[in-house]
Amino acid sequence: MKVHSASRVILLTVFLNSVSFGIIIPVLPQLLIELGHINVVEASLWGGGLSFAYAGAAFLFAPIVGNLSDRIGRRPVLLFSIAALAVNYLILGLAPSITWLIAGRILAGISASCHGVAAAWISDTTAKHLRSKAFGAIGAAWGVGFVCGPAIGGMLGSFDLRLPFFIAAIMVCLNFQAAWWALPETLRPEHRSPFRWRRANLIGACHELRHSPQTIIFLCVIICYQLAYNANPQAWSYYAILKFGWTGKEIGFSLMAFGLLVALNAGFLIRPIVRRIGEHRTTCVGLLLGAMGFIGFAFAANQWMLVAFILPWSFLALIMPSLRALLSNALGEERQGALHGAISSAQSLTMMASPLVMSQLFYQFSSPVSPLFFPGAPFLAASALLLLSLGLLHFTGRRQKQFH
């Protein structure tokens, strides 16, 4: 099987994982309100809990799955993750209570571990000088999925809140069939490494990478960046409902705009930008423009201003492909699974912390008893985190212009 054909299956898998993340966003507030008999501000706290469950599972399993893929290969791990995603959708579609929603999101978090394995698959099959472009394609697939996920959730959810999940389950089953027939194994036996439990967690993975101090610094940048980035899916729906009275359909279309711009930046703009200024400076540009976008969200006086700041925010799509390329090029083939598992685990750690922090910020500054009504507080906090990431990158850039 040609690598290019299999690459399409990899991108389809990433796309459907993105759909699974986005499809629930526009329908979740109303689903929580109905299942829990609560108001929208209280639903935002439950939404944070669901995001915590999703991220907690991904945090625990991403390094395990990444190291397992270094031991037994990429193909079986990806097939398992796709199957778990299909079961997750069925659980969400049939959930009779919030408890069942939590169970479904835990399973979704386990299946999300395949993103790191997909990145390792790309590392196996792509020359070093082309990896930022290849990781950009993964980012574009995620962005397109984020277009389709909220759009599917918003439009189908207007007919029935549960219908989007059953449609998504069918799509994932088709993805499993395509992966079964089209996905080859890319990790050659001589490049496989034994599975060790001490490496199968974020701390252990970082310990394995300790000989490259800049790798640890870049992982810290990823953590700060992801803490900020995750403010958007957590707070956007509740913020738009509370401040501008949006419905699920409007939320879905706004998230579709997010996804389209992210896909454009990750899929088309990143290669010429990286070629001109390099991965390090590309990351800095993304952080600066993303911070501007978050500040715009926080202080938006009307819905048109809110929508306009999606454009600078979308340049955050330049960051992860550039950082993944820098990190991937620094390590050997036998450590790619562990590396991308560590990255996925770091991202998942922030997906545990960020929803809890951001939902609490939203609640504290939006509740009727709040001394200061400022529902944009999560976005302002996110901009500060991006500026902190920019400072870390500036520090590493001054110490070493070229990452080895």
* Residue 189 included in any domain: no
Q: How many CB atoms lie within 10 A of CB 181?
A: 9
For residues 20 and 174, which has the higher predicted lDDT (pLDDT)? 174
Q: Is the pLDDT of residue 273 over 70?
A: yes
Q: How many CB atoms lie within 10 A of CB 133?
A: 16
* Residue 187 included in any domain: no
pLDDT reported for residue 350: 80
CA–CA dist 109, 124 (Å, integer): 24
List Cβ<8 Å contacts ≥24 apart for 364-368. Answer: 366/41, 366/238, 366/242, 367/41
For residues 368 and 333, which has the higher predicted lDDT (pLDDT)? 368
Q: Per the structure block, which two tokens stand in for 3?
A: 């690598």
Cβ neighbours of residue 383 under 8 Å, at least 6 residues apart? 228, 290, 291, 292, 294, 295, 298
The candidate with the shortest Cα–Cα distance to 114, out of 141, 91, 153, 154, is 141
**CA 352 to chain CA centroid, nearest Å:** 12
Average pLDDT over residues 15-39: 79
- At 76-121, the pLDDT tens digits run 888 888 888 889 889 888 888 888 888 988 888 887 766 667 777 7
* Residue 362 included in any domain: yes
How many residues are present in the chain?
Answer: 404
Choice among 169-178, 310-319, 370-379 with the minimum mean pLDDT: 169-178
- Percent of the chain with pLDDT strictly greater than 70: 84
Lookup result for tokens 């659980």: 91
Torsion angle (degrees, nearest 10) of CA 129, 130, 131, 134: 170
Average pLDDT over residues 319-341: 72
At 399, the pLDDT band (50, 70, 90 cuts) reads low
Cβ neighbours of residue 363 under 8 Å, at least 6 residues apart? 41, 44, 45
| Mean pLDDT, the chain, whole residue set | 80
For residues 211 and 173, which has the higher predicted lDDT (pLDDT)? 173
* Residue 194 included in any domain: no
At 210, the pLDDT band (50, 70, 90 cuts) reads low
Q: Is the pLDDT of residue 248 over 50?
A: yes
pLDDT reported for residue 306: 93
Counted domains in the chain: 1
For residues 232 and 123, which has the higher predicted lDDT (pLDDT)? 232
Degrees to nearest 5, angle at CA 135 with 292 and 294: 15
* Residue 145 included in any domain: yes
CATH number of the domain residue 105 falls in? 1.20.1250.20
pLDDT reported for residue 383: 96
CA–CA dist 115, 140 (Å, integer): 13
* Residue 240 included in any domain: yes
Q: Is the pLDDT of residue 330 over 90?
A: no
- At 143-158, the pLDDT tens digits run 777 778 877 888 888 8
For residue 21, the enclosing domain spans 3-179+199-399
- At 34-74, the pLDDT tens digits run 888 888 777 877 887 887 788 788 777 877 777 777 777 77
Amino acid identity, position 226: Q
pLDDT reported for residue 404: 44
Lookup result for tokens 């089953």: 173
* Residue 404 included in any domain: no
At 30, the pLDDT band (50, 70, 90 cuts) reads confident
- Percent of the chain with pLDDT strictly greater than 90: 13
* Residue 184 included in any domain: no
pTM of the predicted model as reported, rounded to 2 decimal places:
0.67
pLDDT reported for residue 337: 61
**Is residue 215 within 8 Å of residue 209, measured between CB atoms?**
yes
CA distances to 182, 238, 342, 381 from 284, rounded to whole Å, are: 38, 30, 22, 18
**Is residue 316 within 8 Å of residue 173, measured between CB atoms?**
no
pLDDT reported for residue 403: 43
Average pLDDT over residues 207-223: 72
At 1, the pLDDT band (50, 70, 90 cuts) reads very low
Degrees to nearest 5, angle at CA 260 with 254 and 264: 150
Q: What is the residue-wise DSSP string for 78-91?
A: HHHHHHHHHHHHHH
